Amino acid sequence: MATTLDIARDNPNAQTIVASPQPIKVMSEDKPPLIGLSREELAEAMALVDVPEKQRRMRASQLWHWLYVRGVSDFSHMTNVAKDLRARLDEVFSIARPEMVDEQISVDGTRKWLFRFPARGAGRPVEVETVYIPEEGRGTLCVSSQVGCTLTCTFCHTGTQKMVRNLTSEEILAQVLMARDRLGDFPDATTPQGAIVPSEGRMVTNIVMMGMGEPLYNFENVKKALLIASDGDGLSLSKRRITLSTSGVVPEIFRTGDEIGCMLAISLHAVRDEDRDILVPINKKWPIKELLDACRNYPGLSNAKRITFEYVMLKDINDSNQDALELVRLLKGIPAKINLIPFNPWPGSQYACSDWERIEEFADIVNRAGYASPIRTPRGRDIFAACGQLKSASERMRKKDRDAATAAGTAA
Ligand code: SAH
Ligand code: SF4
């Protein structure tokens, strides 16, 4: 199960792992999951274990609390549910966790997990990467929405992996539950009085849908998972602390604000269509103008709720002063933050990261125009957890390649 790669052997952060205080049940069987069902679906599911109609909503609320506030992965811990109902639930449904195939910890404290979900129905098992980034006063979980990606952004490692499939709402949420298990964010389920970790004391305070895959090509499952993650009687993450990043699936942008209500990030990366067509090929379908029009209409957009525009800094490709000026011109009138991301190299990538002075000059122009433009510090490069470096274990990198890429990352 849990292994820590050699990279973390001399790593002081490796000592800080807090494993879950509760025994974790790992998925193995082919039983349908209860994780990821909406409250209504959960209540309906109670019919399958013969709960009388009148009690179904009450049972669903009880289960919701156990699953998302207490984080249990075994029905036997649900002490206020009658024993025979627990046994019946266990016969019919699963609330178990995926297997943790790997856990790596960067020298900067970033953690990357590889989770394996068993085959359900006719499918094959899949492996998914999730990254945790601790920062001063907050901890951000970078969650995957697909295994691989159908899109082929030329600077992104995930884009070189074939799309395997969309993740289900259960699999998206399970990444959050597993991270909270590993980081000690759930109370001890074996003692019913185990104190619930208060929101301010939690390790996972923010979620970004910036792992593998294009979340808006898996809209329904992402929506379901995020609505559960933000449910006030459950995981209770504020929608202000959940950000969905898209490469620009224009027809789903309005719905993202309207039906999910989370924060939006756009992978812009270029200011002219001829450049963006190459870097982010979905641009050929929905060019910059259409994308920015959709942004202007994003529900709830205001100075207090801005859109983040992500811009990867690629040497001699998109990093000139003219590019910065054009970026400012394009975003005029949109409440925006600009996030400059130093390019993270991977083996075989055809780009280099812009020089530091170039990035700073670019940032200055954007700042002078009145936009906050933090330069995103690359995190977890040594364990290949930085933006755009994820690629699932179905095509896992050999150690030799990883070392080469780490060297390239350090040089950049
Ligand atoms: N598919 C979605 C979300 C996942 S990518 C999207 O494209 O928005 C999360 C962010 O990392 C995106 O802004 C993406 O463009 C950026 N990214 C991809 N590869 C990168 C790399 N090699 N270096 C830096 N950022 C990268
Ligand atoms: Fe897919 Fe996003 Fe990578 Fe583009 S940047 S290939 S959309 S994961």
Higher pLDDT, 17 or 7: 17
Ligand nearest to the CA of 312: 1
Give me the chain's average pLDDT, please: 88
Nearest CA to ligand 1 atom 7: 247
**Residue 7 maps to a domain:** no
Report the C-alpha gap between 73 and 18 in whole angstroms. 18
Residues 164 and 64 in one domain: no
Of the three residues 68, 92, 116, the one that is the final residue of a domain is: 92
Residue 22 confidence (pLDDT) = 65
As a whole number, mean pLDDT of residues 374-385 equals: 82
Q: pLDDT confidence of 128, banded at 50, 70, 90?
A: very high
**Reduced to 3 DSSP states, what percent helix, strand and coil does the chain have, rounded to the nearest 5?**
40, 15, 45
Residues 143 and 206 in one domain: yes
Higher pLDDT, 396 or 363: 363
**Residue 80 maps to a domain:** yes
**What Å distances lie between residue 8 and 20, 101, 141, 408, 412, CA to CA?**
20, 16, 20, 19, 21
pLDDT tens for each residue of 76-113? 999 999 999 999 999 999 999 999 999 999 999 999 99
Residue 124 confidence (pLDDT) = 84
**Residue 5 maps to a domain:** no
Report the C-alpha gap between 395 and 378 in whole angstroms. 23
**Residue 23 maps to a domain:** no
Residues 276 and 370 in one domain: yes
Q: Which atom of ligand 2 is nearest to the CA of 247?
A: 7
Phi, psi of 64, rounded to the nearest 5 degrees: -55, -45
Asked if 321 contacts 361 with a C-beta cutoff of 8 angstroms, the reply is: yes
pTM for this prediction? 0.89
Residues 326 and 393 in one domain: yes
Q: pLDDT confidence of 394, banded at 50, 70, 90?
A: very low
Of the three residues 92, 116, 132, the one that is the final residue of a domain is: 92
Residues 83 and 126 in one domain: no
Residues 88 and 189 in one domain: no
Residue 399 confidence (pLDDT) = 44
Q: Which atom of ligand 2 is nearest to the CA of 280?
A: 4
Q: Which atom of ligand 2 is nearest to the CA of 214?
A: 7
Report the C-alpha gap between 412 and 408 in whole angstroms. 6
To test the pocket of ligand 2, the residue of 143, 161, 247, 391 to mutate (highest count of ligand atoms within 8 Å of its CB) is 247
pLDDT tops 80 at residue 389: no
Residues 66 and 144 in one domain: no
Q: pLDDT confidence of 189, banded at 50, 70, 90?
A: low
pLDDT tops 70 at residue 16: no
pLDDT tops 80 at residue 402: no
**Residue 409 maps to a domain:** no
Residues 250 and 172 in one domain: yes
As a whole number, mean pLDDT of residues 172-196 equals: 84
pLDDT tops 90 at residue 27: no
**Residue 221 maps to a domain:** yes
Residue 15 confidence (pLDDT) = 37
Of the three residues 71, 92, 113, the one that is the final residue of a domain is: 92
Nearest CA to ligand 1 atom 21: 388
Ligand 2: residues with CB < 6 A are 149, 151-153, 156, 158-159, 213-214, 247, 267
Give me the CATH number covering residue 64.
1.10.150
To test the pocket of ligand 1, the residue of 245, 338, 390, 406 to mutate (highest count of ligand atoms within 8 Å of its CB) is 245
How many angstroms does the Cα of residue 390 sit away from the middle of ligand 1? 10
Strand partners, 263: 243
Asked if 223 contacts 259 with a C-beta cutoff of 8 angstroms, the reply is: yes
As a whole number, mean pLDDT of residues 121-147 equals: 91
Residues 53 and 107 in one domain: no
The residues annotated with a catalytic role in the active site are 129, 387
**Residue 28 maps to a domain:** no
Residue at 180: amino acid letter: R
Nearest CA to ligand 1 atom 26: 388
How many angstroms does the Cα of residue 353 sit away from the middle of ligand 1? 14
As a whole number, mean pLDDT of residues 116-124 equals: 80
Residue 191 confidence (pLDDT) = 60
Residue 194 confidence (pLDDT) = 63
pLDDT tops 80 at residue 177: yes
Q: With the C-alpha atoms ordered 212, 299, 284, 271, is the resulting torsion angle positive or negative?
A: negative
| H or E stretch covering 91 | helix 83-92
Residue 209 confidence (pLDDT) = 98
Report the C-alpha gap between 367 and 386 in whole angstroms. 25
DSSP letter, residue 157: S
State how many domains the chain has. Answer: 2
How many angstroms does the Cα of residue 266 sit away from the middle of ligand 1? 10
Residue 216 confidence (pLDDT) = 98
Nearest CA to ligand 2 atom 6: 159
Give me the CATH number covering residue 273.
3.20.20.70
| H or E stretch covering 226 | helix 219-229
Q: pLDDT confidence of 164, banded at 50, 70, 90?
A: confident
pLDDT tens for each residue of 337-377? 999 999 998 889 999 999 999 999 999 999 999 988 788 88
Strand partners, 130: 113
Q: Which domain holds residue 279?
A: 100-400
How many angstroms does the Cα of residue 204 sit away from the middle of ligand 2? 24
**Residue 16 maps to a domain:** no
Higher pLDDT, 379 or 15: 379
Residues 221 and 357 in one domain: yes
Q: pLDDT confidence of 62, banded at 50, 70, 90?
A: very high
Residue 357 confidence (pLDDT) = 96
Residues 67 and 127 in one domain: no
Residue 25 confidence (pLDDT) = 77
How many angstroms does the Cα of residue 157 sit away from the middle of ligand 2? 8
Residues 80 and 198 in one domain: no
pLDDT tops 50 at residue 406: no
Higher pLDDT, 5 or 42: 42
